[in-house]
Homo-oligomer: A and B are copies of this chain.
Amino acid sequence: MDDFEPIKKHFAKYIELTSEEEARLISFFKVKNVRKKQMIVQPDFTCKYRTYIVKGAMRAYLADDKGQTHTIAFAIEDWWISDFNSYINQVPATLFVEALEDTRVIQIDYHSEQLLMDTIPKFERFFRIAAQQSFAFLQKRMLSNLSKTAEERYDEFFQKYPSIVNRVPQYTLASYLGFTTEFLSKIRSRKK
């Protein structure tokens, strides 16, 4: 299964596994193909899987009462995505996770993950590091939202993730950065 190469390398960045341990890990993986616009997580259903993207792009978002959506995360190749709160606490989701392109993912379910951590402490380390990095990342984003203007946030994102900017619909990017799609259009038009 060549699909597993990138995720093996991904784990190897943080922990060193024996080939038995790696085989154990991989035995829990399920490959899945998701068509563009399909949802893999929906409000009220508990999120069973942690999802790794092999190929494609997704976003997690909140739909508010006024019909607007608010993107909490994008994910492309070699990133994880889910309704994280729902997944780690095994409570009903509040978010949607939708494919922005036809996407191939690898999923591990909650109980397998617990089992891995219970039996092989290295996996506990892996998920600790992952959570800590995610937290640090989100703190930076929060501070950026608190301290910068819309245009500054757009520039920052553009510089940090140029590949995402031209890959996702503009309204999803605007909703991630915290302003309207119309305003993003205006920011862009005054740049050229």
Contacting pair B142 A72 (CB below 8 A): yes
User: Is A178 in the interface zone, CB < 8 Å from B?
Assistant: yes
- A148-192: contact bitstring with B at CB < 8 Å (1 yes, 0 no)? 000000000000000000000000000100100000000000000
Q: How many residues belonging to A are interface residues under a CB distance threshold of 8 Å?
A: 32
Copies in the assembly, this chain? 2
The CA-CA distance from A189 to B59 in the complex, in Å, is 40
Contacting pair A145 B85 (CB below 8 A): no
In the bound complex, residues from chain B placing their C-beta under 8 Å from that of A147 are 62, 64, 68, 70
A residues with a Cβ closer than 8 A to B are 62, 64, 68, 70, 72, 84-85, 88-89, 117, 121, 124-125, 127-128, 131-136, 138-143, 145-147, 175, 178
